Chains A and B, each alone.
Chain A
Amino acid sequence: GAVVSQHPSRVICKSGTSVKIECRSLDFQATTMFWYRQFPKQSLMLMATSNEGSKATYEQGVEKDKFLINHASLTLSTLTVTSAHPEDSSFYICSARDPLSGLTSDTQYFGPGTRLTVL
C-alpha cells in the first residue's frame, strides 16, 4: 500500500520556539492531506485539511495563526507550531489521500506520527 512518512518522529523544544513537522507521501501524489492531534488516551481530533496550492481549512477551535499549514507540493505538507507552549505537547499525525484511488476515505494513508514535547 501507499506510504506516508513524517519527520521528525519525536521533537523536544523550549517554550516559545516554533517547530515544523513534515508529512510526505512517498509513492503517490496527494492533493489532500489531513492533520490530526492526539492527546494521551484520547482520540484523534482533526485539526485541518490541507489542499495542495490553496489555503488549509481549519476545524472549529483550531488557531490558524498558531498552527501554520503549507501544502506546497503534491507530496509534502508541513505543520508549523508557532510559539509552542507546554499545552501544545501532543502526538501529531498526518494522513494523505491518493486521488487516483477515488474520493473516499478508504484511500487515506496515515503517517507514523510525531511526538511533540514542549518544555
Chain B
Amino acid sequence: KQEVTQIPAALSVPEGENLVLNCSFTDSAIYNLQWFRQDPGKGLTSLLLIQSSQREQTSGRLNASLDKSSGRSTLYIAASQPGDSATYLCAVDGGGYGNKLVFGAGTILRVKS
C-alpha cells in the first residue's frame, strides 16, 4: 500500500527566504507526482506535475524534483512571499485503473512579512 509522508509538518520563514518542502513515498512504482496548494477552507490548486520519466518541473518561483528510485520529491520555493502562505500537499498516482491519488498530510507554510 502506497504511503506518502511530508516533512516538515509546518514551516515558518521570513519573507524572501528560499525554502524546500519534502515528500517521500514508499512504492516507487508511480505514474506521476503532483504538488498542490490548499488555502484554509478551500479546495486544491495544482502547482506542478512530474511524470515518472521526468526529473523536475518548474513554474515561476517553484521547482519540483523527483527521484523515483529513492521515493523522494522536493518542492523548492524561491524568494518566498506572504502570499505563499498555505498548505502544500504532494500526491502520487500509481497508475492503473482509476488513477487514484494518494496524498501526504501536507506542510503548513507561513511566510512572515
Contacts and interface: CB of A to CB of B under 8 A. Distances in A.
Name the interface size band of chain B.
Answer: 20 to 34
Interface of A: 6, 32, 34, 41-46, 49, 57, 91, 93, 95, 97, 103-106, 108, 110-113, 115
B-side binding surface: helix, strand, loop or mixed?
strand
A83 to B, nearest CB: 26
A8 B51 CA distance: 34
12 contacts: A32-B98, A34-B100, A43-B104, A44-B101, A49-B100, A104-B31, A104-B93, A104-B99, A106-B34, A110-B45, A112-B43, A115-B41
Given A95-B44, A103-B99, 5 more contacts: A43-B105, A44-B101, A104-B99, A105-B101, A110-B45
Contacts of B104: 43
B103 A43 contact: yes
Nearest to A45: B103
Interface string B16-43: 0000000000000001101010000111
Contacts of B42: 112-113
A-side binding surface: helix, strand, loop or mixed?
strand
Interface in B40-80: 41-46, 49
A105 B32 contact: yes
A44 B93 contact: no
Interface of B: 4, 31-32, 34, 36, 41-46, 49, 89, 91, 93, 98-106, 108
A86 to B, nearest CB: 19
Contacts of B45: 110
Given A105-B32, A105-B93, A57 B43 contact: no
Nearest to A106: B49
Nearest to A109: B46
Nearest to A6: B43
Contact of A108 (B89, B101, B102): B101
A44 B100 contact: no
Contacts of B89: 43-44
